[in-house]
Amino acid sequence: MLAIYPGSFDPVTYGHIDVIERALRIFGRLVVAVAHNLEKTPIFTVEERLKILRAVTREIPGVEVDGFEGLLVDYARRRGANVIVRGLRALSDFEYEFQMALTNRKIAGDIETVFLMPSEQYSYLSSRIIKEISALGGDVSAFVPDIVARMLKAQG
Ligand code: ADP
């Protein structure tokens, strides 16, 4: 069964990778889908994020990396997937995710959203925190794959 894991992935962290691995144990095939979304100040372009995701998932069988524009449920339908995977960390994720999942259900009742919890050690990790640490010159290598740490450093 094919599932879609959508997000910004700006940048991908070990938390995302943990969710990817868990999803694959259930669904077998997973499209990690980078949203061309509305965030005003991304640190990496969509093209860079796709490149990074392809590099870090190259050795994980069953993963495809793609970008999409427009409504997620339209993209899922185009891909023939009726499962959306999202990660759930602390309580703070709940309200937004609940709203999104039920809204998507309203507009596409045939598509189900499934939430997966990461390993505890990643449950406080977010792309936003990585961007902040990196902008302040901190070391993010415990939280993101090497390629991400290197590209963040290269951004200055
Ligand atoms: P979005 O802008 O769609 O929230 P993100 O890249 O921030 O994009 O997150 C994509 C998905 O991955 C979301 O469901 C988010 O909750 C989940 N996620 C992000 N970081 C983690 C983490 N550390 N552990 C588990 N899930 C995570």
> With 0-12 CB in 10 A as exposed, 13-18 as middle and 19+ as buried, what is 146?
exposed
Q: How confident is the model at residue 88 (pLDDT cuts 50, 70, 90)?
A: very high
* pLDDT recorded at residue 155: 83
Q: How does pLDDT run across 22-42, given as a tens digit for each residue?
A: 999 999 999 999 999 776 789
Residue given tokens 């979304």 in the structure block: 37
* pLDDT recorded at residue 37: 77
Q: Buried b / exposed e across 108-142, counting CB within 10 Å, b at 16+?
A: beebebeebebeeebeebbbeebbeebeeeeebee
Residue 156 has pLDDT above 90, yes or no: no
Residue given tokens 């640190």 in the structure block: 43
Q: How does pLDDT run across 113-129, given as a tens digit for each residue?
A: 999 999 999 999 999 99
Q: How far is the CA of 93 from the centre of ligand 1 (A)?
A: 9
Q: Is 113 in the pocket of ligand 1 (CB under 6 A)?
A: no
Q: Is 11 in the pocket of ligand 1 (CB under 6 A)?
A: no
Q: How far is the CA of 5 from the centre of ligand 1 (A)?
A: 9
Q: How far is the CA of 137 from the centre of ligand 1 (A)?
A: 23
Q: How far is the CA of 86 from the centre of ligand 1 (A)?
A: 7
**Of 47, 66, 51, which Cα lies nearest the Cα of 7?**
66
Q: Whose CA is nearest to atom 23 of ligand 1?
A: 15
Q: What is the pTM of this model?
A: 0.96
Provide the CATH number for the domain around residue 132. 3.40.50.620
| Dist CA 117 CA 81 (whole Å) | 21
Q: Whose CA is nearest to atom 17 of ligand 1?
A: 87
Quote the number of domains for the chain.
1
The two three-digit tokens of residue 61, written as one number:
């069988």
Range of the domain at 48: 2-155
Mean pLDDT confidence for 95-100: 94
* Cα diameter, the chain: 45
DSSP-assigned letter for residue 24 = H
The ligand 1 atom nearest the CA atom of 85: 14
Q: How does pLDDT run across 65-76, given as a tens digit for each residue?
A: 999 999 999 999
Q: Is 13 in the pocket of ligand 1 (CB under 6 A)?
A: yes
